[in-house]
Amino acid sequence: MERETRVSVFESENASEIQLMRSKLENQEIPVFVNDKYMSFTTTPTANTIRLMVNLKDEQKAFEIIDEFLKNSDIKMNTNP
């Protein structure tokens, strides 16, 4: 069985933002995987960044969906580091 390579397409510390983006991608039939582990030594011990991961073959389409949503949305996503 071939192993899929997954890439991060969206991240946030806000669970509702993650859920919203996840539903947008899944509605377009893109399988989404959630990674909510501490990411690296560069994050603070209290940081709990959640990342949405997709298969590499879906990366471009996922970014297009996310970009289009963010351009047309009145919702202000938390972009603070």
Q: Does residue 29 have a pLDDT over 70?
A: yes
Q: State the alpha helices, DSSP H only, in 8-78.
A: 15-27, 59-72
pLDDT at 49: 84
pLDDT at 42: 55
Q: Bridge partners of 54? A: 7
CATH architecture of 6-72: 2-Layer Sandwich (3.30)
Per-residue pLDDT reduced to its tens digit, 59-74: 999 999 999 998 887 7
Edge-to-edge order in the sheet of strand 50-55: 6-12, 50-55, 33-35
Compute how many other C-beta atoms are within 10 angstroms of the C-beta atom of residue 22: 17
Domain assignments of the chain as residue spans, ordered by start = 6-72
pLDDT at 78: 57
Work out the pLDDT band at 81, boundaries 50, 70, 90.
very low
CA 66 to chain centre: 9
Q: Does residue 58 have a pLDDT over 60?
A: yes
